[in-house]
């Protein structure tokens, strides 16, 4: 298991006490021998923690007088932002923020760098980063953005509920329709949540459904739809795509078939805010606010670092529903 060095754990705890007023600003800390005994470490380890905090301006050493808590009200927490470069300006307004390239963290040897931060914001991490998250999060306060993981703090769009509700409501309105899910690669976390919502609605209503696994290539997508989708006025298709990445192929397919939107074909996707100039129709679906998710996650991490963590570990934000032409 990768663990942060003991002196960093001690430095983090002393800084937490200063911020929470256990050691008021300008007050003397307990003596170094007392602190070394309290933390159960050698004097050299305690000295290194004090040096770390002195370098960063958290503590002030006064020769002959001891070590004192410096005024830190204006000091920003140092936070690593993993991915999410588009949010760095906002992150910098709250934290001393450092952008971290997620590709670099796929190498286990790079994980120790994460212990340099007071906290971490993981922006839309994919499964390859979860070993790092699981190793670091218990030691460095972390918040996941747009991912839902048990026992880890997160702020996410409620993908599962969104897909459940649109599928459930359309099945209720058109019980004769056949639900069909256009599914991306199964190892994608977000599309996995959406698939679960679709399946929840079908199973709850006792509906038979079909899953069409979509290839990455556009021409192959169109060919797959040609093979799998069969239009019928007696049994409309209720097609739900787990991403807007399949919408272009479906629109191409629809150009060669007698499609009647909301007649023999219903369609919805996610994060598709295109107007009619792209596909000729506005697609029904959900729009998530990525900026809102980041701001909520940053606020959640800030409360944790301030010593007032939320009672609930996770926050789900319901995305905006766009009831459009399809």
DSSP 115-179: GGSSEEEEES--GGGHHHHHHHTTTS-EEEES---TTS-EEEE-HHHHHHHHHHHHHHH-TTSEE
* Cβ–Cβ under 8 Å, residues 305 and 119: yes
Q: Quick one: pLDDT at residue 259? A: 95
Q: Quick one: pLDDT at residue 231? A: 93
136 closest CA partner among 112, 163, 154: 112
Q: Please, what CATH class does the domain formed by 6-69 belong to? A: mainly alpha
Q: What SS3 class is residue 275?
A: coil
Token pair 């959406």 in the structure block, residue: 194
For 66-100, write each residue's pLDDT tens digit. Answer: 888 887 655 688 899 999 889 988 898 888 899 99
Q: Quick one: pLDDT at residue 189? A: 75
- Asked if 6-69 and 78-157+291-319 have one fold, the answer is no
253 closest CA partner among 228, 217, 233, 286: 228
Q: Quick one: pLDDT at residue 112? A: 87
Q: Quick one: pLDDT at residue 199? A: 96
Instruction: Give the span between the Cα atoms of 134 and 71, in whole angstroms.
Output: 34
For residue 299, what is the enclosing H or E element? helix 290-305
304 closest CA partner among 141, 69, 187: 141
Neighbour tally for 208: CB within 10 Å: 7
* Cβ–Cβ under 8 Å, residues 66 and 29: yes
Instruction: Give the span between the Cα atoms of 285 and 268, in whole angstroms.
Output: 5
Q: Classify domain 78-157+291-319 by CATH architecture.
A: 3-Layer(aba) Sandwich (3.40)
Q: Quick one: pLDDT at residue 29? A: 86
Cα diameter, the chain: 90
CA dist 204 to 163, 183, 191, 195, 208, Å?
13, 20, 20, 14, 11
Q: Quick one: pLDDT at residue 284? A: 95
User: Domain segments of the chain: what residues?
Assistant: 6-69, 78-157+291-319, 159-287
Q: What SS3 class is residue 63?
A: coil
For residue 236, what is the enclosing H or E element? none
Q: Quick one: pLDDT at residue 188? A: 66
Q: Quick one: pLDDT at residue 4? A: 61
- What sign results for the dihedral spanned by CA atoms 47, 51, 52, 54? positive
Instruction: Give the residues of the chain that fall short of pLDDT 50.
Output: 1
| Ordered DSSP codes for 215-227 | PSSHHHHHHHHHH
Q: Quick one: pLDDT at residue 61? A: 80
Q: Quick one: pLDDT at residue 3? A: 60
Q: Quick one: pLDDT at residue 252? A: 97
Characterize the bridge pairing of strands 314-317 and 284-287. unpaired
* Cβ–Cβ under 8 Å, residues 28 and 66: yes
Instruction: Give the span between the Cα atoms of 229 and 208, in whole angstroms.
Output: 15
For domain 159-287, say whether CATH 3.30.450.40 is its number. no
């Amino acid at each position: 298991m990768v663990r942060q060095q003991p002196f960093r754990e001690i430095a983090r705890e002393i800084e937490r006490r200063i911020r929470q007023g256990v050691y008021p600003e300008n007050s003397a800390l307990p003596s170094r021998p007392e602190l070394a005994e309290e933390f159960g470490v050698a004097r050299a380890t305690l000295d290194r923690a004090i040096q770390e905090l002195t370098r960063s301006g958290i503590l002030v050493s006064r020769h002959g007088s001891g070590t004192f808590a410096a005024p830190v009200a204006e000091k920003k927490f140092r936070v690593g932002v993993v991915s999410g470069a588009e949010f760095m300006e906002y992150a910098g307004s709250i934290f001393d923020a450092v952008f971290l390239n997620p590709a670099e963290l796929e190498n286990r040897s790079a994980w120790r760098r994460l212990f340099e931060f007071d906290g971490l914001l993981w922006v839309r991490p994919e499964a390859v980063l979860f070993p790092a998250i699981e190793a670091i999060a218990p030691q460095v306060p972390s918040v996941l953005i747009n991912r839902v993981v048990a026992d880890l703090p997160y702020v996410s769009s409620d993908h599962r509920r969104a897909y459940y509700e649109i599928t459930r409501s359309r099945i209720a309105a058109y019980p004769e329709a056949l639900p069909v899910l256009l599914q991306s690669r199964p190892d994608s976390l977000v599309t996995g949540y959406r698939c679960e919502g679709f399946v929840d609605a079908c199973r709850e209503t006792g509906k038979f459904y079909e899953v069409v696994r979509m290839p990455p290539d556009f021409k192959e997508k169109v060919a797959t739809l040609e093979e799998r989708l069969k239009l019928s006025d007696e049994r409309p298709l209720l097609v739900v795509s787990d991403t807007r990445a399949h919408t272009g192929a479906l629109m191409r397919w629809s150009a060669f078939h007698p499609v009647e939107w909301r007649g023999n074909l219903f369609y919805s996707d996610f994060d598709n805010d295109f107007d009619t100039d792209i596909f000729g129709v506005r697609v029904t679906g959900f729009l998530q606010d990525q900026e809102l998710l980041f701001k909520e996650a940053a606020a959640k991490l800030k409360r944790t670092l301030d010593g007032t963590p939320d009672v609930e570990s996770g926050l789900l934000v319901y995305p905006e529903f766009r009831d459009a032409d399809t």
